[in-house]
């Protein structure tokens, strides 16, 4: 099977890195020339990469075509592209919904929307897909954990949650900058904060069948963590987080 990618940006680079380091069997990976720098980097790094001359050439050589362009770009280029009958299109575009994709692609082919996230480059993390599809599920299960979603309205909620990634990284940056200002060197500060939060996330994952609230409630009353969460709660920090989720959702 040949895999084609239109748009060679951040998320496509992560997905291709995940694929090339995984057990996914594929013949060639055909990428579009833009972004030139990233396309050259991928070609140098992995044997099976071919840089096509343009987007239509990616489609001509591929069985599955992944759309890794920004929604505005995708919406302007898709009507000019011709897909073949038995092809599958997997779109990563956040705000281009399923009915719109169908209209833009015109051909009656399999279309899947997927939400890969950067840790896919490590073969980790959830990949929400809509609509459910066995082959696509099995593919993403080799570079993460696929979550199949039955209707598009529900899938928008997952897109909204995926839009909190940068605020999580901002939290890590704020905490480590705070430590640095208190005279810890930057590298130790970043090491402490990232090790702490990745371990906390691992523990939460192990406990994810039980209510996550248990991890909050087990804090000692009057203790440091109890103080921290209560102060943030009172100040409206978590209400603001939900408000921001609602605003992200509205764009989807």
Q: Rule CB under 6 A: is residue 4 a binding residue for ligand NAP?
A: no
Name the CA dihedral angle for 248, 118, 150, 163, rounded to a multiple of 10 degrees: -10
User: Total binding residues for ligand NAP by CB under 6 A?
Assistant: 24
62-101: contacts with ligand NAP (CB under 6 A):
68-71, 73, 77, 92-94
Q: Minimal distance in Å, beta carbon 16 to ligand NAP?
A: 11
Integer Cα distance of 200 and 194 in angstroms: 10
Candidate ranges 8-16, 142-150, 189-197, 237-245; the one touching ligand NAP (CB under 6 A): 8-16
Q: Which is nearer to ligand NAP, 12 or 112 (CB)?
A: 12
Q: Which is nearer to ligand NAP, 118 or 131 (CB)?
A: 118
Q: Which is nearer to ligand NAP, 6 or 129 (CB)?
A: 6
Q: Minimal distance in Å, beta carbon 210 to ligand NAP?
A: 29
101-160: contacts with ligand NAP (CB under 6 A):
115-118
Q: Which is nearer to ligand NAP, 116 or 144 (CB)?
A: 116
9-68: contacts with ligand NAP (CB under 6 A):
9-12, 32, 34-35, 55, 68
The residues of the shown chain that bind ligand NAP, judged by CB under 6 A, are 6-12, 32, 34-35, 55, 68-71, 73, 77, 92-94, 115-118
């Amino acid at each position: 099977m040949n895999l084609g990618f239109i748009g060679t940006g951040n998320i496509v680079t992560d997905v291709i890195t995940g694929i090339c380091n995984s057990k996914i069997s594929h013949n060639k990976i055909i990428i579009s020339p833009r972004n030139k720098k990233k396309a050259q980097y991928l070609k140098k790094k992995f044997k099976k990469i071919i840089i096509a001359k343009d987007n239509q050439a990616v489609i001509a050589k591929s069985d599955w075509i992944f759309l890794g362009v920004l929604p505005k770009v995708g919406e302007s280029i898709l009507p000019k592209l011709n897909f073949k009958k038995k092809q599958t299109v997997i779109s990563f575009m956040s705000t281009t919904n399923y009915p719109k994709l169908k209209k833009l692609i015109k051909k009656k082919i399999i279309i899947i929307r997927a939400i890969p996230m950067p840790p896919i480059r490590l073969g980790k993390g959830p990949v929400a897909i809509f609509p459910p599809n066995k082959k696509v599920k099995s593919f993403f299960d080799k570079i993460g954990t696929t979550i199949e979603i039955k209707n598009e309205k529900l899938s928008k909620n997952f897109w909204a949650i995926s839009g909190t990634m940068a605020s999580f990284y901002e939290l890590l940056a704020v905490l480590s900058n705070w430590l640095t200002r208190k005279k810890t060197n930057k590298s130790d500060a970043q090491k402490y904060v990232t090790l702490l939060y990745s371990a906390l996330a691992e523990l939460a994952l192990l406990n994810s069948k039980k209510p996550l609230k248990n991890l909050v409630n087990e804090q000692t009353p009057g203790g440091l963590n109890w103080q921290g969460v209560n102060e943030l709660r009172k100040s409206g920090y978590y209400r603001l987080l939900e408000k921001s989720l609602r605003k992200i959702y509205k764009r989807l």
